[in-house]
Amino acid sequence: MGRALAPLPANLTFLSLLLLFLPLAARLRPLEALDFQLGPFDPSSDYKTLEVVYPATIANKALQVTPDSAGNFTLQNQSGRILYRQGFKLWDGPSTAPTKLASFNTSFVINIFRVNGNSTPGEGLAFIVAPDLNLPAGSSGGYLGLTNATTDGHDSNRLLAVEFDTFKQDYDPDANHIGLDINSVRSSQNVSLAGLGFQLAPNVTKFFHVWIDYDGGGKVLKVYMIDEDESTPTKPKPASPIMKASLDTSKVVSQNSYFGFAASTGGNVELNCVLSWNLTVEDLPKDGDLPAGLVIGLAVGIPAAAAVLVGAAVLGFRVRRRRAAANDPNILGTLKSLPGTPKEFEFRDLKRATGNFDERNKLGQGGFGVVYKGVLATENRQVAVKKFSRGDLKSKDDFLAELTIINRLRHRHLVPLLGWCHKKGMLLLVYDFMPNGSLDSHIFCGPERQTLGWSHRYKIVSGVASALHYLHDEYDQKVVHRDLKASNVMLDSNFNARLGDFGLARAIDNEKTSYAELEEGVPGTVGYIAPECLHTGKATRESDVFGFGAVILEVVCGQRPWNRAGFGGFQFLVDWVWSLHREGRILEAVDERLGGDYAEEEARRLLLLGLACSHPTAAERPKTPAIVQILSGSVDAPRVPPFKPAFVWPSASPLMEIGDTTDVTPMTSSQFGSGWTPRYASKESDAGYNNSSPV
């Protein structure tokens, strides 16, 4: 029937929008904090709590972040780090749309000491938030123990620092300043201290008491500072900060990060001492303490046949609409009268439902707007109301036209829409509220938490497959999802998979800002992107299948597709699983958290299917009809070669929509005007590789 119908419009803004998933967490508990107070430092106990990275030491009741003159060290060209051994969770929710940022406060007393009276000091000391407990090699001199010549400026450093810099490099304002360093010693913000009457490293012993407060709600970092003559501070915290910066920590640091200090010397030296240190970090729940998300969707799907009929009717209507004048006043009425169409809500009802969009009802924030929890008074029904940050989307007619298309996509494993409201250019979408989360929050949890059982996992994979099959083959126009990954799979109250998020960034033409935000340093998508996409820039059904393969492996192995630390020597999960397959022990890839409690045949089937879907050659990947059959057990698991075939480009076989030239997917990247760019390819090996929406 597809040929008889009008093609979908190129711009599927609302298809994307309406199926947009916002991972959310409602946390209504009071602030709980983890904290410690350290100092004066004692080598006999503090070496246990602190990671003292050579050549840093604990001596003279202080942290000597670079060596103390008492040691057997040369003082020149040194760098060191001392970090609190325990990591802290600094944000909650998926990397693409964190739902909460942990606030933290720290205060410490430092002394930067000139070794020889009037010699020039160098280089500086910094308070840091780092992704691990390591010190980069080659980080002496101007690198302050933060970065080195190779890594400086890379998002993959995931490093946040407040530097106390005593030596002027060509990128520094002077030799006596503080700076906010984000992945680089080239500060994103600096404050010269001379004007404030402070000298970090005078030729006498001077102590500075520093407070760094980060408010995760307001996303603001403030630094306060006062000088003291004694190592035990006496003066109160000043009323106003000397530096204030807006900062979204989730865009910079690792979800689990470490706090501490780094310092360096160069040709000029100084002692970089910390005499006492307090830290308080807001305690975010560990993954899964609470239902960590929100499922957007209707509980009951429309039977497929009815959906097709409704869909056809709606499309027929849409075609007529196109012929008619664009501002036909009857459009709205017609739309409203169609069965199964998401309902139009009154703005004032949504306002009331959400308590006038009260902060306290805020469930989370995505790249495109804020989601509020609400209760519809008339039905006493819990809903999630998504308010888009910008209203300059489309004309109302275009909006309605697109709504009709979205409305046609109905499947019990897709996230559907309850209703909408479009008022004065402002757009709100209404979804059913479900107090359950996205797949990733259930499978990437620590050992302390009960993880999803095997039967649920199998059911979820099958659900995703069936949604994909619907989009790729059953629906009369082929639709490509483009962004398959665990965080885009929601689970309803029965742990049925619901596929959401049809590609964020393409959704809103004018949303350059949030798009840019999405691109920042979140390694969420490494491993989901089919290799040929880096060349063609086109999302295809085959590239969707590749992403599906990654999801299968995640679900079975309980691991993300890519891991800095690696899997048995492999950086990509798929390579590791493939090696286990070759060695005839593929079941060793199954998530250990299942404790062996799984069906071996099913696990083997899923893993082999996951590998088959991860085939580097697009044409070799199974198609969704076969996938659905394999999952149902009616067809054997695919044969997988012992070695992962090499990716060859250009491919010998055609890539796009093999054997199917007319039903070309309407959703290719070119139609959204932003193809893949070389930087994705060049960043392939880089941990800072972007997140979800590469196009």
x-or-dash pattern for ligand NAG, window 239-278, by CB under 6 A?
----------------------------x--------x-x
Binding ligand NAG (rule: CB under 6 A), the pick from 9, 87, 138, 391 is: 138
Name the 3-class secondary structure at 464: helix
Q: Which of 256, 280, 334, 629 binds ligand NAG (CB under 6 A)?
A: 280
Please report whether residue 213 would count as binding ligand NAG according to CB under 6 A.
yes
Q: Is 285 in the site for ligand NAG (CB under 6 A)?
A: no
* Chain centre distance of CA 204: 47
Of 213, 483, 492, 544, the catalytic one is 483
Cα distances from 485 to residues 435, 521, 547, 550, in angstroms, run 20, 17, 6, 7
Give the per-residue contact string, 168-197, with ligand NAG (x = CB under 6 A; - = no): ---xxx-------------x--x-------
Q: Which is nearer to ligand NAG, 37 or 45 (CB)?
A: 37
Nearer to ligand NAG by Cβ, of 76 and 671: the residue is 76
Nearby residues of 517 by Cβ (< 8 Å), 6 or more positions away:
251, 367
* Closest CB 125 distance from ligand NAG, rounded Å: 15
Distances in whole angstroms, Cα of residue 407 to Cα of each of 411, 566, 694: 10, 42, 26
**Region binding ligand NAG by CB under 6 A among candidate stretches 145-153, 251-259, 369-377, 491-499:** 145-153
**Do residues 627 and 613 make contact, with C-beta atoms less than 8 angstroms apart?**
yes
Sign (positive/negative) of CA torsion 473, 475, 478, 481? Answer: negative
Nearer to ligand NAG, 64 or 624 (CB): 64
Is residue 127 within a helix (H) or strand (E), and if so which, with residue range? strand 124-130
- What whole-number distance in Å separates Cα of residue 21 and Cα of residue 366? 9
CB of 116 to ligand NAG, least distance (A): 9
By CB under 6 A, residue 688 contacts ligand NAG? no
Please state, in angstroms and as integers, the Cα–Cα distance from residue 81 to each residue in 106, 129, 206, 556, following that order: 17, 11, 22, 38
Q: Which of 6, 10, 70, 149 binds ligand NAG (CB under 6 A)?
A: 149
- Written as six digits, the tokens of 404 are 């009709």
H helices present in 414-481, as ranges: 439-443, 454-469
* Residue 70 touches ligand NAG, criterion: CB under 6 A: no
Give the shortest CB-104-to-ligand NAG separation in angstroms: 5
Active site residue 686: no
Query: Is residue 219 marked as binding?
Result: no
Contact 261, 65 (CB under 8 A): yes
Q: Which of residues 82-111 bind ligand NAG (CB under 6 A)?
A: 103-105, 107-109
Selected from 155, 282, 519, 657, the binder of ligand NAG by CB under 6 A is 282
Q: At what angle do helices 454-469 and 624-632 cross, to 10 degrees?
A: 150
74 interacts with ligand NAG by CB under 6 A: yes
Q: Which amino acid is at 251?
A: K
The only residue of 7, 29, 36, 37 in contact with ligand NAG, by rule CB under 6 A:
37
d(CA 601, CA 558): 18
3-state secondary structure of 156: helix
Per residue, the 3-state secondary structure of 600-646, as one string, reads HHHHHHHHHHHHHHCCCCHHHCCCHHHHHHHHHCCCCCCCCCCCCCC
Task: Out of 67, 136, 524, 549, name the contact with ligand NAG by CB under 6 A.
Answer: 136
DSSP β-bridge partners for residue 224: 211
* Distance in Å, CB of 478 to ligand NAG, minimum: 45
**Residue with Cβ nearer ligand NAG (158 or 362):** 158
Applying CB under 6 A, does 118 fall inside the site for ligand NAG? Answer: yes
CB of 576 vs ligand NAG, minimal distance in Å: 22
Question: Closer to ligand NAG at the Cβ: 118 or 450?
Answer: 118
Instruction: Report d(CA 597, CA 451) in Å as an integer.
Output: 12
Rule CB under 6 A: is residue 547 a binding residue for ligand NAG? no
CA distance 102 to 104: 6
φ/ψ of residue 457, rounded to 5: -65, -45
Q: Does 69 bind ligand NAG (CB under 6 A)?
A: no
Q: Does residue 80 bind ligand NAG (CB under 6 A)? A: no
Nearest CB to ligand NAG, comparing residues 267 and 654:
267
Half-sphere exposure for 653 (CA within 13 Å, toward CB) = 12
Q: Is 67 exposed, middle or buried (0-12, 13-18, 19+ CB in 10 A)?
A: buried
* Interface region with ligand NAG, contact rule CB under 6 A, candidates 13-21, 146-154, 421-429, 605-613: 146-154
Residue range at the interface with ligand NAG (CB under 6 A); choices 57-65, 134-142, 476-484, 638-646? 134-142
Q: Which residue is nearest to ligand NAG (CB)?
A: 138
Start-to-end CA distance of the chain, whole Å, equals: 30
Compute the least distance from the CB of residue 287 to ligand NAG, in Å.
20
CB of 42 to ligand NAG, least distance (A): 16
The residues assigned a catalytic role are: 483
Binding site for ligand NAG (CB under 6 A): 33, 37, 72, 74, 76-77, 103-105, 107-109, 117-118, 136-138, 148-151, 171-173, 187, 190, 203, 213, 233, 267, 276, 278, 280, 282
- Binding-site residue numbers are 387
- Binding-site residue numbers for ATP are 387
